[in-house]
Amino acid sequence: MMKKKSDKILRHTASERINHWLVAIVFVFTAISGLGFFFPSLNWFMNILGTPELSRLLHPFVGSVMAFLFIFMFFRYLKHNFIDKDDLVWAKNIHKVLQNEEAGDIGHYNLGQKGIYWTLSISLILLTVSGVIIWRPYFADYFSIPVIRIALLVHSLSAILLIITVIVHAYAAFWVKGSIRSMVEGWVTRGWAKKHHPRWYREVLEEEKKEEENKQSQK
Ligand code: HEM
């Protein structure tokens, strides 16, 4: 008798999920302390890491932890984020997407998600490089005042870009029902995969078929 297929498909492994949520938690601490330094009206945010002094001391270390943890995410998800011709169909039909309909033969991620992935990656690289340049007392002394000024500007602009991108990313994650569960519990239903990522679903079916054939040949 054929074994009935489970309705659940693995989308994110446990280590991917832990990696993602650690980055998200560390992001919140760095973003809140950073906003506290930047806007006088938000100075009280500086208490997020204890006291304003402690926040100033810890912010670059916590930021470095975020950048370090993101390296793993970057490489885990890189293969799913190359832009292909089906993404253009998605872009042309963006009006449908905004009405909650699907467009194009979407693989693991759609163009919107890929755009978020690349924006997060670029803004984190810019933040890290500029952050090291302005990091007193350890590194800033190695750079001239004009370089530090440019780095401060880059740091502020890339921080704003990162914060806005994360807000859009989190909004989209809540908007597409079933997405958050995939990053919390790891799985999605077959219906979800077929609806939002049909090409990825066909790849999953192919893999399942191969596994089944391997099992049969080993019997
Ligand atoms: C704070 C709230 C956040 C929520 C609710 C959230 C939610 C999610 C969800 C549900 C997914 C899975 C999407 C899917 O598989 O279709 C995902 C993927 C991802 N998240 Fe987040 N996330 C948050 C913060 C962050 C932060 C702070 C970063 C990095 C700075 C981040 C980077 C990513 C990346 C790189 C992926 C993989 C997407 C891709 O490769 O295109 N997330 N997130």
Cβ-based neighbours of 211, under 8 Å, separated by 6 or more: none
> In degrees to the nearest 10, what's the CA dihedral of 160, 165, 167, 172?
170
Question: Can you list the residues of the chain whose pLDDT is less than 70?
Answer: 1-4
Instruction: State residue 1's pLDDT score.
Output: 46
pLDDT digits (tens, 9 = 90+) for 159-215: 999 999 999 999 999 999 999 999 999 999 999 999 999 999 999 999 999 999 998
Task: Please answer whether residues 106 and 176 qualify as being in contact, where contact means their C-beta atoms are separated by less than 8 angstroms.
Answer: no
Of all residues in the chain, what percent are helix, strand and coil, respectively (each to 5)? Answer: 75, 5, 20
Three-class secondary structure of residue 15 per DSSP:
helix
Cβ-based neighbours of 30, under 8 Å, separated by 6 or more: 59, 62, 63, 66
How far from the centroid of its chain's Cα atoms is residue 144's Cα? Answer: 34
Instruction: State residue 3's pLDDT score.
Output: 56
How far from the centroid of its chain's Cα atoms is residue 61's Cα? Answer: 20
- The CB of 180 under 6 Å from ligand 1? The reply is yes
**Tokens standing for 189?**
């239903």
- The CB of 23 under 6 Å from ligand 1? The reply is yes
Instruction: State residue 210's pLDDT score.
Output: 94
- 196 part of the active site: no
Three-class secondary structure of residue 8 per DSSP:
strand
Alpha carbon nearest to ligand 1 atom 35, residue: 117
Return the biggest CA–CA distance within the chain.
75
Task: Please answer whether residues 187 and 11 qualify as being in contact, where contact means their C-beta atoms are separated by less than 8 angstroms.
Answer: yes
DSSP assignment, residue 80? T
Residue of 12, 169, 196, 197 marked catalytic: 169
**Which residue among 11, 16, 20 is best mutated to probe the pocket of ligand 1, counting the most ligand atoms within 8 A of its Cβ?**
20
